[in-house]
Amino acid sequence: MKKFAIAAATATALTLTMANAAFAQTTQATQAPMMLAAGEVTEAKEDVSDTWITTKVKADLVTEKGIPGTDIKVETNKGVVSLSSTVEVTDAQKTTAVAIAKKIKGVKAVSADGLKSE
């Protein structure tokens, strides 16, 4: 009976050791995709944030009186807003457009080099 108990205890210990090793491999295999997914979520948040910034800047430009908002193109990349136009704008309109873009949450910088001046 004593030999059977020792054999059973040994088998149980080996089984637990092997199961633990298998679990560790499974955990490592599943953590990599989780990290990848977290990176993709961060990238998606940046994209959504840039899209939101572009939409908000464009909406504010369109609703601002005295600004040709429909003629100003707005692009955002990682929080940096670029303003451009095919029509000429005055220096005051350019200054106002830059100020509008800068006040939007998430905007890191504004480039108005693409706005044509009169």
Give the pLDDT confidence score for residue 22 in this predicted structure: 53
Q: What is the mean pLDDT of each run of 10 residues along the chain (118 residues)?
A: 54 55 52 57 69 96 94 96 95 95 95 90
**Helix (H) and strand (E) counts for the chain?**
2, 3
Residue 89: CB partners within 8 Å, gap ≥ 6? 67, 68, 72, 97, 115, 116, 117, 118
Q: State the greatest distance between any 2 C-alpha atoms of the chain, in Å, as a whole number.
A: 101
Using CA atoms, how far apart are residues 15 and 19, in angstroms rounded to an integer? 6
CA 60 to chain centre: 22
Query: For the chain, which residues make up each domain, given as ranges?
Result: 2-117
Q: Which of 61, 80, 60 is nearest to 72 (CA)?
A: 61
